[in-house]
Structure 1
Amino acid sequence: MSKHRKFIHIDMDCYFAAIEMRDNPSLRDVPMAIGGAKERRGVIATCNYLAREYGVKSAMSTAMALKLCPQLVLVPGRMQVYKDTAEIIRNIFYQYTDLVEPVSIDEAYLDVTDCALFNNCASDIARAIREQIYQTTALTASAGISSVKFVAKIGSDLNKPNGQFMVTPNNIEKFLSPLAVSAIPGVGKVMTAKLQGLGIETIAQLRLLTREQLIDLYGKFGQVLYQRARGIDPRVLQLSRLPKSMAKETTLSEDIHTIEQAEPICLGLLEYLKLKLIQLPDMQLEGIRVKIKDASFKVFSKECKTSFLAADMVRGLLQQLWQQNSQKGVRLVGVCLRLQPKPTYSQLNLFD
């Protein structure tokens, strides 16, 4: 019988905001967020826990955030500081295991199955990692520990901030049973609503559907649902994550009819993507695509190759789209960045 894997999911607590509060103590006791200005149709990248109590959240427009929390303090992002701190944290992970899967700048999976420290007690290893992060960076992290990868991710959110939660192999199904189906990674709002229409609210109820029923409903993902409802996740860590693109779009509450209305929305989406791009230090920009969806739900897009995140390029693409496809009004605007791995260079030995 093969031994259980030991996964730890480390998730930094409101990472960008925590760095700003660390470096500027006057921000610690006020609702604050990292994001663009309201006048430029900015978007919230992240916020502290005080702001979240007002309903402010990531990817929300700055205008909406300020309606929910008029006293919200907006802080511009400091990309290099976030990247440098993330590098320090990642180096701490590698002191415990070589099997590290960064998910983003502020979270990662670690496989500590073969870590000899702390008598191979995954809970003690997670506690030591969190303590070392705090001692080194003055930032807190939360952790989930399990023999199943997605269960570890769920666990890291249960004792936030600055806590951890372990689910032992024998307790996985019991742990999952009362959770909402939306707790399963990959189950979004649309799928949740469809399952609720079938009377399926919890993971325990999801187990009542057969494998065949789930495959009929959701194709290949039906097999994934069948397994995860039972605490089965055969995935190992992906030590190299190379996404080919990242995108952000917004559906408008009312159709717009002028490019002057669309442009600040596009630029706000671009600013949001700039913040997200720093989470992928091994990737570089290859191109930008702008898309619109008109009132009849037809989608149009234009793209160009570029290695620079230039607002003028987005304006130019939007202008081309608008001249050709805006007759019916626009209900959705989106921006997509196409990515490619950064080249790796090796120094030539001149004496070979």
Structure 2
Amino acid sequence: MTETRYAVIGAGWISQIAFLPAVHQTGNSRVTALVTGSPERARELADFHGIPDVISYDELDGYLAAGNADAVYIATPNSSHADFALRAAQSGCHALVEKPLATTVEECDAMIAAHAKAGTYLMTAYRLHHDPGTIDMLERIRAGEIGEPRLFSSVFGFQIDAGNHRLKGSHWGGPLQDLGVYCLNAARHVFSAEPVEVTAMFGHGDNDPRFSETHETVAVTLRFPGDRLAQFMASFGTDARDLMQVLGTKGTLTADPGYKFEHELHLTRHAGEEVVEQVRTPENDDFGAMIAYFSDCIQAGTPPQNDGAEGRADVLVMRAIEAAAETGQPQRTDLPPRPGHPDDTTLRRVPRTDRRLVF
């Protein structure tokens, strides 16, 4: 089988715990290089995973131009996503970029245009688009199991360690960008539509020094066409919880847990007060599924469903959420309908592994 070759840009926690272990499980992908600012430490990681090359950020352009990789995976702080994605396009390489895709809509537009010009694919790393539990939940909603979906609610929180780069204002860090993006993206696909209005409020952490540059909590309300509503709260200062619930005209679906890659989605369907069904999704490696899907797209010449425009939509809405919270005024949003939504064509089944090295 043909293998897509990846250069992994950023050898931090998410690469160590999720991406690098998952690549071995895909059958159609491998990593040829770690791109990092800490080459000594990365060499140990590369040796563990059988990765031949460790290069610096300054060496990236030459490495890609020499044809040593087909694609890059960008797992650096949010503020550098656009730069690396543009450099990948200039070298003729596809790009899989962690969410949020970039820090502004303008950056997203530049990334999308650059990859379109280069004839390469830009994909936003929405791993849940390739997760069996998430796809099952969306297909149940589309099939009318709970009638028409009318309300979406969700919470996602945990206690963040001081000093984490996700707390840096210069990187556009914060709970909205790191956690709320999951809730926002889920709501858009639950309703198969784009929000038209947002209101929001920030919580600042009650003088907690961790939140000197960003917010502790965000609470958001989104209005969708048909006067359907979605609400979510995301926080860096709570107990670790993640769940989502969709209330329809004839029933309710609850996913608890709903987002984390370490756990399978557990789905409960209610009709009134009665529990009608409980489903525990079979084990699957969401990162491996995401990688396998993108490699399939590259090898088949098929554009990915969760493309740059998908990531751009969430960035536009998140910027509107920030404006709503800062001004206290509702913000209108205007987005074109998505041409498609996650379904069984984006689904991949990849076994998990316990083999990983985390510093």
Smaller-chain TM-score range? under 0.3
Higher relative contact order (CA 8 A, sep 6+): 2
TM-score, structure 2 normalization: 0.26
TM-score, structure 1 normalization: 0.27
